[in-house]
């Protein structure tokens, strides 16, 4: 179909719409037609009743998808040959994993299921909160408190005949390689960078190399969507081939934390006052005993709000509200339903393109921003030669022997391309495994804490020493080589 033809159709549709609006007789007959069509469809769906066999494919059900797969076109992949096999692959074989059943996840599941994907698994560790209901449209008030993955799967399965969504009310870290290996494509709709990086690391760990050459059959494409208010991005990652999440880590700004000195002594913003109450007053005054601050507990928020107001009054700062208090404590970024819809649509389209090989996939990073006007942009994010996740190049650590272990720890967490969260550092000394520092287990943290003040030399480390670093951002240990500088 060329552009001209397309245009004619558009014009006539417009005309048709105008006529319908103006002509009441036509309107009622078209309404009648629509009613009959809905009845007809409902009957077909009722007959199938969500039955999980392919017998529910009524005539013309997949016509919208067939148009893309069973005829040639100017925008198809150069190697594309129209056939009926692609659709059969989608319907019967292609297995998709959706990570996250929240704002993006609901959109993704709906889009994928309506595009013909039927074997879908969804992983989400969250339960439904009442505040989700404005945009996470697979959930209803009666579902509040239930696992998102389960409710989303039930909804899709009962609404879209033949679709078999399998829910997992779990963390992504609860599954091992064998679970992830079963999927053709993985789509992420996550709000956590740590989880994204972990998933990225998992797919990289599944790659197999023979004589240094990547086996393409070990690649599981990762489609990643992310939104934050009016901004979003969608990207296609072919692990081991194109830029991975960690290759472009510099693109994720570190979480904004106010400097402690500002909070403690020179507050200027209402946020500083709230942080003062949250970080300094709460642990000191222990208003509810030993319970830690719970952002979902109204009494806790009220307490922080009251203290923050007192502090604000002291420094003549205005703007401390209950809502802002909750926002700061829970680190809430407002979610915009339409941003989720745009990004999920882009992601689902990429899944479709890759699964069918009918179109050239996004190469490889799409930016969307409608904060002010509407702006989109696509660029090719490049692989980082020494990416700590996907490069297979040992990571260098350059420090003088007089540097303290604390400095190494700070480097691992603060370096823009590493951004680790709570790295655990181990090494081999005199043939024995030695933990230099580990944060996550209290007793080990206490035992290894004195090491932080020791120099690398005092710890017995030598030039060229290998340090193994484990962190929540990756399922695999990252190896670093210590290079002593003068
Ligand atoms: Zn990488």
The residues annotated with a catalytic role in the active site are 261
Residue 30 pLDDT: 65
* Residues whose CB falls within 8 Å of the CB of residue 58, separated by 6 or more in sequence, listed in order: 44
pLDDT digit string, tens, across residues 363-412? 999 999 999 999 999 999 999 999 999 998 889 999 999 999 999 999 99
CA of 383 to the centre of ligand 1 (A): 6
Instruction: Using DSSP, state whether 363 is helix, strand or coil.
Output: coil
CATH number at residue 129: 3.40.50.720
Q: Strand pairing of 231-237 and 365-369?
A: antiparallel
- The predicted model gives 176-199 an average pLDDT of 95
Instruction: Supply the DSSP string of 243-304, one letter for each residue.
Output: --TGGGGGGSPPPP---HHHHHH---SHHHHHHIIIIIIHHHH-EEEEPPP-TT-HHHHHHH
Residue 171: domain span: 85-229+335-362
> 243 CA distance to ligand 1 centroid (A)?
5
What is the CA 404 to chain-centroid distance, rounded?
36
User: Do 199 and 221 sit in the same domain of this protein?
Assistant: yes
User: What's the confidence (pLDDT) of residue 256?
Assistant: 61
Helix (H) or strand (E) holding 29: helix 24-48
**Ligand 1: centre distance to CA 361 (Å):** 19
Same domain, 168 and 276: no
Mean pLDDT (whole number) for 143-167: 97
Residue 301 has a pLDDT of 95
Domain harbouring 480, CATH code: 3.10.290.20
**Residues 421-435 pLDDT 10s:** 999 999 999 889 999
Tell me, in angstroms, the distance from the centre of ligand 1 to residue 335's CA.
28
Q: Are residues 319 and 411 in the same domain?
A: no
Does 291 lie in the same domain as 436?
Answer: no
Query: Looking up tokens 């066999």, which residue turns up?
Result: 53
Q: What is the pLDDT of residue 145?
A: 96
Confidence of residue 254 (pLDDT cuts 50, 70, 90): low
Q: Label residue 22 by pLDDT band (50, 70, 90).
A: very low
Rounded CA gap, 60 and 196, in Å?
Answer: 38
Span 52-99, pLDDT tens digits: 444 578 999 999 999 999 999 999 999 999 999 999 999 999 999 999
CA–centroid distance, 411 to ligand 1, in Å, is 19
For residue 130, pLDDT over 60 is answered with yes
Verify that 408 and 280 share a domain, yes or no. no
* Burial degree of 32 (CB within 10 A; 0-12, 13-18, 19+): exposed
Same domain, 212 and 349: yes
CA 206 / ligand 1 centre spacing (Å): 14
Residue range 355-368: average pLDDT? Answer: 96
Residue 5 has pLDDT above 60, yes or no: no
Q: Would you state the torsion angle of the CA atoms of residues 194, 196, 198, 200, taken in this order, to the nearest 10 degrees?
A: -150
Q: What is the pLDDT of residues 268-315, one digit of tens each?
A: 999 999 999 998 999 999 999 888 899 889 999 999 999 999 999 999
Q: Which pTM was predicted? A: 0.78
The answer to which of 9-23, 183-197, 470-484 has the lowest mean pLDDT is 9-23
Q: Are 402 and 428 in a shared domain?
A: yes
Ligand 1 geometric centre to CA of 387 (Å): 5
Peptide bond into 180 cis (omega under 30): no
| Spatial distance between the Cα atoms of 137 and 143, rounded to a whole number of angstroms | 11
> In the predicted model, is pLDDT for residue 122 greater than 80?
yes
Please report the DSSP string for 400-441 in residue order: -TT-BHHHHHHHHHHSTTT--SS-EEEEEETTEEEEEE--SS
């Amino acid at each position: 179909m060329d552009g001209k033809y397309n245009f004619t159709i558009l014009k006539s549709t417009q005309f048709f719409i105008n006529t319908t609006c103006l002509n009441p007789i036509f309107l009622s007959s078209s309404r009648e037609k629509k009613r009959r069509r809905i009845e007809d469809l409902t009957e077909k769906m009722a007959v199938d009743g969500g039955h999980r066999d392919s017998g529910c494919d009524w005539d013309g059900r997949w016509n919208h998808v067939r148009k893309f797969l069973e005829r040639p076109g100017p925008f198809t992949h150069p190697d594309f040959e129209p056939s009926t096999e692609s659709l059969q692959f989608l319907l019967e074989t292609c297995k998709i994993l959706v990570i996250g059943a929240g704002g993006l996840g609901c959109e993704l599941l709906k889009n994928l299921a309506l595009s013909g994907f039927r074997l879908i698994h969804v992983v989400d560790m969250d339960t439904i909160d009442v505040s989700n209901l404005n945009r996470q449209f697979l959930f209803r008030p009666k579902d509040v408190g239930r696992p998102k993955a389960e409710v989303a799967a039930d909804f899709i399965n009962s609404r879209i005949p033949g679709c078999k969504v399998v829910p997992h009310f779990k963390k992504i870290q609860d599954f091992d390689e064998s679970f992830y290996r079963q999927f053709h494509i993985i789509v992420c709709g996550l709000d956590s960078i740590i989880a994204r990086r972990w998933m990225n690391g998992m797919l990289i760990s599944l790659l197999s190399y023979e004589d240094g050459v990547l086996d393409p059959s070990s690649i599981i494409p990762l489609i990643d969507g992310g939104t934050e208010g009016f901004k979003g991005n969608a990207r296609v990652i072919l692990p081991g081939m194109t830029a991975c999440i960690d290759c472009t880590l510099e693109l994720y700004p570190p979480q904004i934390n106010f400097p402690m000195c500002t909070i403690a002594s020179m507050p200027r913003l209402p946020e500083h006052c709230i942080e003062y109450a949250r970080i300094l007053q709460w642990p000191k005054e222990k208003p509810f005993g030993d319970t830690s601050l719970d952002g979902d507990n109204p009494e806790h928020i009220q307490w922080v709000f009251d203290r923050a107001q007192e502090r604000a009054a002291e420094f003549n700062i205005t703007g401390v509200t209950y809502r802002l208090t909750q926002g700061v404590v829970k680190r809430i970024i407002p979610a915009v339903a339409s941003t989720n819809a745009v990004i999920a649509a882009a992601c689902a389209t990429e899944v479709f393109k890759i699964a069918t090989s009918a179109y050239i996939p996004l190469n490889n990073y799409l930016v969307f921003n409608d904060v002010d006007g509407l702006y989109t942009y696509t660029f090719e994010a490049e692989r980082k030669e020494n990416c700590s996740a996907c490069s297979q190049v040992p990571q260098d650590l350059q420090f003088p022997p007089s540097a303290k272990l604390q400095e190494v720890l700070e480097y691992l967490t603060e370096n823009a391309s590493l951004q680790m969260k709570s790295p655990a550092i181990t090494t081999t000394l005199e043939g024995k495994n030695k933990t230099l520092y580990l944060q996550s287990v209290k007793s080990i943290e206490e035992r290894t804490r004195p090491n932080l003040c020791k120099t690398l030399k005092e710890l017995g480390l030598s030039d060229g020493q290998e340090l193994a670093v484990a962190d929540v951002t990756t399922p695999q240990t990252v190896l670093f080589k210590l290079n002593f500088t003068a």
